[in-house]
Structures are given as C-alpha cells and as structure tokens.
Amino acid sequence: MNQRGTPLLTVRGMSRSFVGIRVLTEVDLDLAPGEVHAVVGENGAGKSTLMKVIAGVHQPDSGRLEIDGVPHRFPDPASARRAGIGIIHQELTLLPDRTVAENVFLGREPVGRGPRRLLVDRAAMVERTRALLAEVGAVSFDPGTLVRRLSVAQQQVVEIVKALAGDARILVMDEPTAPLAEHEVDLLYDLVRRLTARGIAILYISHRMREIFDLSDRVTVLKDGRVTGTLATRDTDRDELVRLMVGRELRDYHPPLAAPGDLGEVRLAVRGAGNDRLRDITVEVRAGEVVGVAGLQGSGRTSFARALFGADPLTTGEMWLDGRPVRPNSPRAAIRAGIALVTEDRKGQGLVLRQPVLDNALLVLRAAFAGRRRAEVEPVEVGELLTRLDVRAGASDREVRFLSGGNQQKVVLAKWLAARPRLLVLDEPTRGVDVGAKAAIHEFVRDLARQGLSVVMVSSELPELIGMSDRVLVFRDGTISGELPARPSEERIMRLSTGAEVAV
C-alpha cells in the first residue's frame, strides 16, 4: 500500500525477543518517499524497539528490511546510516563545546586536495553546513555557533541537518516534540514539511494525538509488539486509534479495592500547587486509599511523586497532611512529616547496593530519626518486616546487589515502612520485578492501605493501575488532565493521557 510509487522502506514480518519475551511480533511497515508515517502505541508497545531495529541498534530475530526494494541487513548503526537511515533520538547527542558545523560533519569532515588531504577543509565544512541550514529554513544561528549556546529546538535542527549531511533519505524521529516548548513545536512542523517536500520519508514516533493528526499521512498502531492497524490519517479519528492501542484483558489478579467504609479522613490535600515542571495540581487522598497516577513519560507523573516527597519541592500552592500545612523542601523534611517515596530507579536512587539487607532496611531510621523513636523501632520490627515481606536473601549479610529485583524492591519497601509513614508514594513499584514478587507487593500495599496508610502509586503499566487503584489521576503536560473512578478502562486513561479527551 503506497500512494507514491515504490516504497522507500519496507519492513516485513519483523520479530524480536529479549530474554525470551517477544517485544516485536511479525511487524509489517512501509514508508513512501515524502511521507510522514506515524507510529503510535502505549508505553511498552514496542515503538522504540521497532525504531532501533530499523536503525541497526538491535538485530531482528526474523523478518526482512528493504530499501528501494533491495534487501538490507544492518549489523550496526553505522551501516544503517550508510544506507540512508538517520535517527533523531529523544535525548540529543551533540557535542556541546563544538560548533554547529563540526557537529554536522563529525567523523566525516571534508578534507582538502593533494597534500592538504590530512587537513580538514573548514571553509567547505562551514559552507556546506550553511547551505543545509538554509535548505531546512534554519536561519536563526550560524555554522560557527557553539552547540552549547543553542536552544533544545535549535539543537534538534542540528541533529536533523547532521542526518541530512550524511545523505539520509529516511528520518526516524523518536518523540521529537518531547523536549520542546509549545512555540517551538510549530518550527518543527515547518521543518518536517520542508523535509518531506524534498522527498525525505519520516517515521514519526509519538503518542501525542495532536501531532499525529497535524503531521502524518498514515498511522501504524502497535499494541504488545504487534501491528493492530495501519490507517490513512485522514480516514481515522482519535477514538479509533485509542481503541487500537488498548483493549487488553485484565489478566492479573489484584487484591480487592477499598470498600467505601474503609476510607478515613483526608490524609493528603494539595491545592493549586506547582513548580517548574508541574502546575495547578489539586488532589485529595484519604486514609486507606490507593490513588493511581497515570500519564505518559514526561507528563509530570514522576515530578508529582518527587514534589510530594520534597525532592523537587513545590514552589507554589498549598499542601496539607492530616490537616496540618506541610510543604517539604527536602526528602528529610518529608520523611519526618510522615511521607515515604519508593523511587522508580531502584538501583540508582533506592538502594545502597554494596551494603547488606539490614543496613538498607535501617537506612531511613538511622538517617532521619534519632533517639527514642529510633530505639522504639529497631531492630525487632525491621526484622519482622523483612520476614513478613518474605525477602529471600540467602545469607543474611549478603549485599543487596546480589538479590533479585523483586527481593530488592521488598527491601526498599521495608526501609520505608520501618519509618511508619502516613503517606506512601510509589513510583513504578513493580518495574523489573518478577510476577510472583509483583503479586506479593500488590497484596502487601493493599494490606497496608487497609490498615490506614494512604498510597499514591505512579505506574506506566495500565493493568497495574486499573487493578490496584481506588481512583486514578491522569497527568498530561505537567498537570492533572482528568480523574477517573475505580476500575477505569484503559481506553479512558489513554484518551486523557494523549489529549484525545480533554478534561473532565
């Protein structure tokens, strides 16, 4: 299916597994010259893996890839680049202390003739960069500018020009608007249109509905690593796309939700709060309640967790805990006020990996509570906790880095529960945790809620959110875009996350 002659890129039956888990299954995709082809899907649908396979970062287990009808195999990213595939990553990869021109021609600098072969022809490099910049309509900066001085949007332009300088005919853009401010998005749109006018094909990965409908000619929807549809953008609408993205059975068992009588007084109240990543947050969480927080990456869901915990403090608005005003400006202040945060990055932020289980489990108590309170809890209760959580460590003085992900996460939980928090904030509590430990953690969290703990649980896994939450807050663009009652549909969550449905 191509409207403009031979497809530039064809992918057929592409599959790829990681450690036995199928991430891509029999994916078909084609890309015509001058086309913007959007790829959408929720977190973990396989978008990034597909992109990486096309770019030679990963190799497919099976399937074909053709450019202009000629089969290609990419053992590494460099060979994909030589074949004309350029990638614009989400994180920009330029050298900040080099000029624009030096970045554009990095590793393939033009050289002089004859004996001057050994020298970079700087004049040619600058001229060609200037020409490329003019071609894409970027006139706000000069080839000689240091990349450090450019805005993120301008750096993105440099990335694109860099790909063009390598004669890329296919550009893969991974959520290109994610790092951009609102007014910069229009510039990107402009640029994309100029590129397609030159016959360059763009594979545009995004889950923002507006961009897809503004820019793309066709959309391919991925769900759980399979293509659930490829549609002409003008013949579809947001509802249809969301339906194709979601609609999974709720397979996993989850503990029963809170009954109306289980909920206590309002424990956490936030009104009109914000900081440089969040705005206008108003939330109430009751004692005994588990409130889920949904949202795409960069929507502010993790910023919200960190703000409650004082790691990136709120700068505006008000916050109360059990009716008393608190606005923690450091983790320590939050901990002493009764707030705990299980971070999403367990190894980087949650554990001291080279210390034994007990030292990890006691860390919060030792650090934040001196004197009587500390003496009350240790050591019996911490040992009890570890036992109740069924942490399996082999030898008791084993360093936690040798534990499995599930056991590590239980140690993190024990560390926080030892401090007897009133509000437990969880960010991706079961990421990288095996199925058994996951069920155990869910059960344990619900059990704590039943005893009166308030829980705020951020998760990118919709089944977990739906199964565990008494209520779901959906974040988008740094604020709450909607609030859903217990057992919402994946569809509703995705609609609010992507902006397909606005506000409640």
Q: How many residues does the chain have?
A: 504
Characterise 334 by phi-psi region: left (phi > 0), alpha (psi -120 to 50), beta (else).
Answer: alpha
Note whether 301 and 283 are within 8 A (CB): no
> Residues with Cβ < 8 Å from 101, sequence gap 6 or more?
122, 125, 126, 129, 143, 144
Q: How far is the CB of 260 from other proteins (least distance, A)?
A: 21
Binder of other proteins out of 343, 409, 497, 498 (CB under 8 A): 343
- Tell whether residue 43 is a contact of other proteins (CB under 8 A): yes
Rounded to 10 deg, the angle between the 122-135 and 152-165 helix axes is 110
Nearer to other proteins, 43 or 230 (CB): 43
Exactly one of 145, 230, 355, 404 binds other proteins (CB under 8 A); that residue is 355
Indicate the residue among 145 and 404 with the shorter CB distance to other proteins. Answer: 404
Lookup result for tokens 């080279």: 354
Q: Note whether 32 binds other proteins by CB under 8 A.
A: no
Which among 265, 344, 341 is positioned nearest to 307, based on CA atoms?
A: 341
Residue 264 in the binding site for other proteins (CB under 8 A):
no
Residue 269's φ and ψ, nearest 5 degrees, are -130, 130
The Cα–Cα gap between 219 and 205 comes to: 10
Give yes or no for residue 366 binding other proteins (CB under 8 A): yes
Q: What is the nearest approach in angstroms of other proteins to the Cβ of residue 238?
A: 24
Q: Which is nearer to other proteins, 355 or 489 (CB)?
A: 355
User: Rounded to an integer, what distance in angstroms lies between the CA atom of residue 10 and that of residue 71?
Assistant: 9
Kindly identify the residues of this chain, within the stretch 428-487, that bind other proteins according to CB under 8 A.
Answer: 431-432, 448, 451-453, 460
- What is the nearest approach in angstroms of other proteins to the Cβ of residue 273? 20
364 binds other proteins per the rule CB under 8 A:
yes
Query: Is the torsion defined by CA of 430, 436, 437, 443 positive or negative?
Result: positive
- Tell the residue number behind the tokens 């893969």, with chain if given: 172
Q: Binding segment for other proteins among 78-86, 168-176, 247-255, 354-362 (CB under 8 A)?
A: 354-362
Q: Considering only residues 10, 49, 220, 497, which one is a binding residue for other proteins as defined by CB under 8 A?
A: 49
Q: How far apart are CA 58 and CA 286, in angstroms?
A: 46
Contacts of 402 (CB under 8 A, 6+ apart): 394
DSSP assigned state of 202 = E
Among 138, 191, 283, 358, binds other proteins (CB under 8 A): 358
Q: Which string of x and - marks every residue 90-129 that binds other proteins (by CB under 8 A)?
A: ----------------------------------------
Q: Which is nearer to other proteins, 65 or 382 (CB)?
A: 382
Does residue 368 belong to the site contacting other proteins (CB under 8 A)? yes
Would you call 139 helix, strand, or coil by DSSP?
coil
In whole angstroms, the minimum distance from the beta carbon of 145 to other proteins comes to 29
Tell me if 308 contacts other proteins by CB under 8 A. Answer: no
Residue in 89, 130, 238, 422 binding other proteins, rule: CB under 8 A: 422
Give the residue with the Cβ less far from other proteins, 104 or 413.
Answer: 413
**Which amino acid does the sequence have at 47?**
K
Considering only the stretches 45-53, 144-152, 235-243, 482-490, report the one whose residues sit in contact with other proteins under the rule CB under 8 A. Answer: 45-53
Select from 109, 121, 214, 381 the one that contacts other proteins (CB under 8 A). Answer: 381
Shortest distance, position 129 Cβ to other proteins, whole Å: 33
Checking DSSP bridges between strand 62-67 and strand 70-71, what pairing results, if any? antiparallel
Q: How far is CA 316 from CA 205, 309, 319, 456, 476, in A?
A: 34, 15, 10, 20, 19
Q: How far is the CB of 202 from other proteins (least distance, A)?
A: 22
What are the beta bridge partners of residue 340? 424
Q: Which residue stretch of 67-75, 181-189, 190-198, 380-388 sits at the interface with other proteins (rule: CB under 8 A)?
A: 380-388
If one asks whether residue 336 binds other proteins (CB under 8 A), the answer comes out as yes
Q: In this complex, which beta carbon is closest to other proteins, that of residue 367 or of residue 435?
A: 367
Name the residue type at position 166.
Answer: G
Side chain identity, residue 474: V
- Size, binding site for other proteins by CB under 8 A: 71
Q: Find the angle CA(423)-CA(424)-CA(425) to the nearest 5 degrees.
A: 115
Q: Cis ω on the peptide bond leading into residue 379 (within 30° of 0)?
A: yes
- Smaller CB separation from other proteins, 241 or 453: 453
Closer by beta carbon to other proteins, 49 or else 129: 49
Residue from 237, 384, 390, 443 that binds other proteins (CB under 8 A)?
Answer: 384
